[in-house]
Amino acid sequence: MVVEADIQNAVVELLRRTVVKLPSDVEEALVRALDAEVDETPKMQLKAIMDNIKLAGEGNTPMCQDTGVTIFYVTLPRTCEIDVERGIIEGVRRATSEVPLRPNAVHPITRKNPGDNVGDGMPYMNWKVGNNDFIEITVMPKGAGSENMSQLAMLTPSQGVKGIKEFVLSTVLRAGGNPCPPMVLGVGIGGSSDICMKLAKQALLRPLDERHKDPEIAGLETELLDALNMLGIGPMGLGGKTTAIGLNIEYAYCHTASLPVAVNVQCWAARRGTVRIHLDGRLEFPTNEE
Amino acid sequence: MTKRLKTPLSEDDVRSLNVGETIYLDGVVYTGRDEVHIHALEYLEKGKPIPVDFKGAALFHCGPIMRKVGEGWEVVAAGPTTSSRMNSLEPQFIEKFRPGAIIGKGGMSQPTIDAMKQHGCVYLAITGGAAVLAARGIKSVSGVEWYELGMPEAVWILNAENFGPLTVGIDTHGKSLFADVNAKVKENEPAVRERLGLKT
């Protein structure tokens, strides 16, 4: 039987794997980017990124010092009697000293840092109940350099698809070299202001090589990505062919009078990881197998 | 062309650099980001002593992951943070403390470029997120000041050896690689807009 300590252990291991190694779709996209670049400067930036990924794996070390704030997506089985929330909180606390993670979570006004990534509202958990007989926990450790470039626009319905494209383009232009390009873009369309921002972040959980199931949305993903890569911002904003290595869109129905659009900007270190905790205590890491 | 320089940097060293050159650094490198800039300028205004001497120094926009080992510290991961967050404070910081180099990512705005030209300071770009690679160039840690600001915001005193590669992103002649790229992006924008069916 699974107990709270199993959740803790699973979360520590999940965070360790996730900050050390990128999902294969992201790494493959970076390799393709290095192959595509011609000029010396972007090549040198991508080469440093590839060397860094290798060193992080060999040393079992976080690839980037910004291990983000801990935002989780949890799917519980229909019956679950253990305190998963407490297991996650204690797991984060332990991972901060054991992995280690950088203690990033501070009070928003006093800026006081408790040193363990735990405070009011952090770690943050998105809860769902599913039909599986395991607990599934996904985490996206995301740096502030990219998160700070994210934006929401409450468009009017008449602005339509053109308005969406305008907003994505202006967000990328404003971001420039700041979010550690080559970036990944998560775009949320519809819902309400809060749902739209969540959709944009959740879009980043989908593998980069998987298009949206709705062909029209899939077409928009490809069209936007191809166009944005003509800008020439390049790796680290130092110029080059690769400004973004992926663009995913998620949508939800919205009010007839609104058209919310959100862009969540992600860096090249597009870390995400999932653990499945089976009721017999067995752990599975579908995104970060070792 | 690759150059190897030792900190503290002389004004001659700094003024000899040009954008696009690749640099490796030896010697002390101080970390300092948002809170260090705010703190140092506040201390100066109040006449309180600053624990380190930034003159000719390399100031690294970095909030590292550090691990306590016995009485000392070791670097786990130490990549750059986004320099543009320091845009509003950097010109004043350069004027008052006269560092020789700012190391970071993403570049900085025109007032900083102007301050660098006037006071003799360069901006060295290091690959963002490549924190393990960067940590390899740090051989030891001499200490930490203002630790109460928290691990990411403190001043870490790092001993660098062959730290890099660093690309000169802004030089003392008023040139900026980032401004050059921005100009090219502006040139490319109409074609992007046309491709997306937007008004150009």
Q: Where are the domains of chain A?
A: 4-20+63-142+271-284, 144-266
Cβ-Cβ contacts under 8 Å between A and B: the total is 171
Give the CATH number, domain containing residue B67. Answer: 3.20.130.10
Name the residue in chain B with its Cα closest to that of A224.
B196
Q: Tell which residue, A208, A202, A145, has the closest CA to residue A175.
A: A145
pLDDT in tens, B36-73: 999 999 999 999 999 999 999 999 999 999 999 999 99
Helix (H, G, I), strand (E, B) or coil at A51: helix
Q: Tell which residue, A23, A97, A12, A46, has the closest CA to residue A243.
A: A46
Has residue B126 been placed in a domain? yes
Give which of A142, A187, A238, A266 to mutate to test B binding, by max B Cβ within 10 Å.
A238
Give the residue numbers spanning the domain of B79: 2-195
- Report percent pLDDT > 90 for chain A: 95
Residues in a beta bridge with A262: A152, A188
Name the residue in chain B with its Cα closest to that of A96.
B65
Q: Which 89-118 residues of chain B touch chain A by CB within 8 A? A: 105-107
pLDDT in tens, A111-131: 999 999 999 999 999 999 999
Q: How far is CA A103 from CA A14, A96, A139, in A?
A: 17, 7, 16
pLDDT at A87 exceeding the cut of 90: yes
pLDDT at A287 exceeding the cut of 90: no
The number of distinct structural domains making up chain B is 1
Q: What is the mean pLDDT of chain B?
A: 96
How near does any CA of chain B get to the CA of A28, in Å?
17
Q: Which 23-62 residues of chain B touch chain A by CB within 8 A? A: 35, 62
Q: Helix, strand, coil % (nearest 5) of chain B?
A: 35, 30, 35
Q: How far is CA A135 from CA A10, A284, B40, B180, in A?
A: 11, 10, 48, 50
* CATH class label, A4-20+63-142+271-284: alpha beta
Has residue B200 been placed in a domain? no
Average pLDDT over residues A29-40: 96
User: Hey, are the CB atoms on A61 and B132 less than 8 Å from each other?
Assistant: yes
Nearest-CB residue to A49 (from B64, B107, B130):
B130
Nearest-CB residue to A64 (from B79, B184, B191):
B79
Q: Are strands A259-266 and A183-190 parallel, antiparallel or unpaired?
A: antiparallel
Give which of B84, B185, B199 to mutate to test A binding, by max A Cβ within 10 Å.
B185
* Active-site residue list of B: 37
Q: What is the mean pLDDT of chain A?
A: 96
pLDDT in tens, B170-200: 999 999 999 999 999 999 999 999 999 998 7
